[in-house]
Amino acid sequence: MSILYDEGQQAIATESRRVLEARVSKEELLPLLETSGRYHEGYWTTAKEQGWTALALPEAYGGLDLGLIELGLIAHQAGRSLSGAPFLTSNFGAAKAIELYGSDDQKTKWLPGLASGETIGAVAFASGANALPARPALTLTGERLDGVMTGVAGGLAADIAVVFANGPGMPVLAVAELADVKRTAIATFDNSRLYADLEFAGTPAETLVTGGAAREAALHILALQAVITAHEQAGGAEAMMEIARDYAVTRRAFGQPIGAFQSIKHRIAEIYGLVELARANCIHAASREGQADFITAAAAARISATEAYDTASRDCVQIHGGIGVTWELGLHLHTRRARSLAIEQGNLLFWEDVLVDRLTGEAA
């Protein structure tokens, strides 16, 4: 139970915050919303330079051999700064899938590129409302993939995708190269996440794991990503809380700061509660990687972080009054991100079910 950050970990948090604050600005993020297919490239360059892509991967493949706790700290800062590109999560998920379930050859082939950030990975399990469908939308025949995968985060830019597919009579986790795959950008409220529909037509793919184990593996990868996303959500929620607080201290009405009105003040104090619970669950989940209760802890982190970010972004806008809904102020960047992150790794309903299945002993 290592849940106190040590000095090295605290340094990672401070340094990543400094770097992100210096390189990501609202002025750059706003225009990204108006076109699809573009993301904050400066962020991705930063992520590569700083070694964030390599952070939680094994040294043997160019990684830094740190873990979910450290990557979570960076994700928290990424969430605060709205840095945009989804690759921190999906690149990590794809790499983990190959690291945990791939053969030595597959690891040698893919991991160094994913670690350096030269290769961009995505994870594509969902099918519409189903984060992990009983019957996946893709079919693997021999070593060829067919079918359409919708709403893949980072799908527009990814070089490879780890997919959940129907193999011969059983589910399978496979990795496919996307060079020849047809991609359609999705017009969305959060364009910088590069959501795309991917159309596989006889695309070459390599099997990682099959059968019942494939479903379990997919859930595990999803949970790893969910913990990172939850950190990002908690970071975003924290930023919204601080912005709301700062405004409530300075904006005046009826002769006093609006923060002196209890309807405003208590609202912000309630957000504080949600943010702290989310953070606590995130730290706990990150420290449980590899333990029997990891999925449970990941689900709890995901649930509380989703609630925190939605509430914080909603209330922060409200507290700002009219100015809160303007394009320029950019609070909507958080509102949008809160919603896109909420559905990216399986929605609240999905994680609630996963959690209750675990608590009632119904889980596989």
Partner 1 sequence: MSDLDAYRSKAAAWLESMVPTYGKAARKGLSEADDLALARKYQKAKFDAGYAGINWPTEFGGQGKGHLEKVTFDTEEMKHGFPSFYFGISLGMPIPVLMQFGEDKAWVKERVLKALQGEEIWCQLFSEPAGGSDLAGLRTKAEPDGNGWKINGQKVWTSWAHYSDYGVIVVRTDPNVPKHKGLTYFWVDMKAPGVTVRPIKLVGGDSHVNEVFFDDVKIGDDHRMSPVGGGFAVAIATLMIERYVATDSAGFGPHLDLFVELAKDTELNGKPAIEDGRIRQQIARNYAMRSGLQSITARAMAMMQAGMTPGPEGSLNKLVAVRSRQKLSELAIDLQGSDGFTYDDHASQKEDWTSSWINAPTGRIAGGSDETLLNTIAEKILGLPQDHRPDKGVPFNQIPA
Binding site for partner 1 (CB under 8 A): 1, 3-4, 241, 245, 248-249, 256-257, 259-260, 262, 265-266, 268-270, 272-273, 276-278, 280-281, 283-284, 297, 299-301, 303-304, 307, 349, 351-353, 355-356, 359-360
C-alpha 213/C-alpha 216 separation (Å) is 5
- The answer to whether 72 and 231 are in contact (CB under 8 A) is yes
- The answer to whether 292 and 284 are in contact (CB under 8 A) is no
User: Closest Cα partner for 299 from 284, 314, 312, 311?
Assistant: 284
Q: What minimum distance in Å lies between the beta carbon of 269 and partner 1?
A: 4
Q: What minimum distance in Å lies between the beta carbon of 359 and partner 1?
A: 6
Q: What minimum distance in Å lies between the beta carbon of 98 and partner 1?
A: 30
The amino acid at 49? E
Instruction: Return contacts of 289-295, CB within 8 angstroms, 24+ apart.
Output: 289/67, 289/68, 289/224, 289/227, 294/220, 294/223, 295/219, 295/220, 295/223, 295/354, 295/358, 295/363
Residue whose CB is less far from partner 1, 43 or 350: 350
Residue whose CB is less far from partner 1, 165 or 338: 338
C-alpha 167/C-alpha 143 separation (Å) is 10
Q: Provide the token pair at 148.
A: 């359409």
Residue whose CB is less far from partner 1, 18 or 252: 252
Residue whose CB is less far from partner 1, 26 or 252: 252
Q: What minimum distance in Å lies between the beta carbon of 51 and partner 1?
A: 27
Residue whose CB is less far from partner 1, 193 or 245: 245
Q: Residue 109: enclosing H or E segment and its boundaries?
A: helix 104-116
Q: What minimum distance in Å lies between the beta carbon of 180 and partner 1?
A: 41
